[in-house]
């Protein structure tokens, strides 16, 4: 099931999450990822929920055509922020589906509050690790590597 466009409520919710983050309120595992825009070069920020699998850190998206994914793919780097802590990172997309499956399989266990987002946008049909792994061919996973 491919994600066809993102829902209209996503931008206002992302703005709210970014505002809460600036106030020091960090819901769940949410961090802010800033990556340079493809055209402007200005940092563009989106909420993400990094997860760690086998000692490596990842961020992912079920919407490969989203702006932040395209910007991250083009730039290959970003700034990951949690509270007052900022870290410059390299972002390396995992090209192999089986590598993405492993990370996606861990997502509903490691980031349970993120499951509803995947369900609401139609990226998965159920909340199980197997359902998430099945979405690997349609999802983007970046390894987050500190610089």
CATH number, domain of 31, equals 2.30.110.10
Q: What is the number of domains present in the chain?
A: 1
Any domain includes 132: yes
Any domain includes 94: yes
* Cβ contact 74:118 at 8 Å: no
Nearest Cα to 146, choosing from 25, 14, 50?
Answer: 50
**What residues form DSSP beta bridges with 80?**
33, 87
- Cβ-Cβ contacts under 8 Å for 98 (sequence gap 6 or more): 136
For residue 62, give the DSSP letter: S
Any domain includes 80: yes
- Cβ-Cβ contacts under 8 Å for 20 (sequence gap 6 or more): 26, 27
Confidence at residue 4, expressed as pLDDT on a 0 to 100 scale:
56
User: What is each CA distance from 147 to 43, 57, 79, 86, 119, in whole angstroms?
Assistant: 17, 13, 10, 12, 33
Confidence at residue 21, expressed as pLDDT on a 0 to 100 scale:
73
Spatial distance between the Cα atoms of 19 and 36, rounded to a whole number of angstroms: 20
Whether this model's pTM surpasses 0.85 = yes
Confidence at residue 144, expressed as pLDDT on a 0 to 100 scale:
99
The parts of the chain modelled with pLDDT lower than 70 are 1-5, 7, 10, 25
Any domain includes 4: no
Nearest Cα to 34, choosing from 21, 24, 25, 23?
Answer: 21
Domain containing 129 equals 10-146
């Amino acid at each position: 099931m491919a994600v066809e466009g993102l829902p209209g409520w996503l931008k206002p919710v992302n703005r709210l999450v970014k505002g809460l983050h600036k106030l020091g309120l960090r819901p769940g595992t949410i961090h802010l990822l800033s990556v340079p825009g493809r055209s402007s070069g200005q940092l563009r920020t989106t909420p993400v929920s990094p997860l760690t699998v086998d000692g490596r850190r990842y961020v992912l998206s079920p919407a490969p055509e989203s702006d932040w994914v395209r910007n991250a793919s083009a730039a290959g780097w970003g700034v990951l922020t949690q509270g007052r802590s900022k870290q410059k990172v390299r972002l390396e997309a995992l090209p192999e589906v089986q590598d993405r499956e492993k990370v996606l399989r861990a997502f509903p266990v490691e980031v349970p509050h993120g499951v509803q987002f995947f369900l609401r946008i139609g990226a998965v049909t159920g909340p199980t690790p197997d359902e998430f792994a099945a979405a690997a061919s349609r999802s983007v996973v970046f390894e987050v590597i500190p610089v």
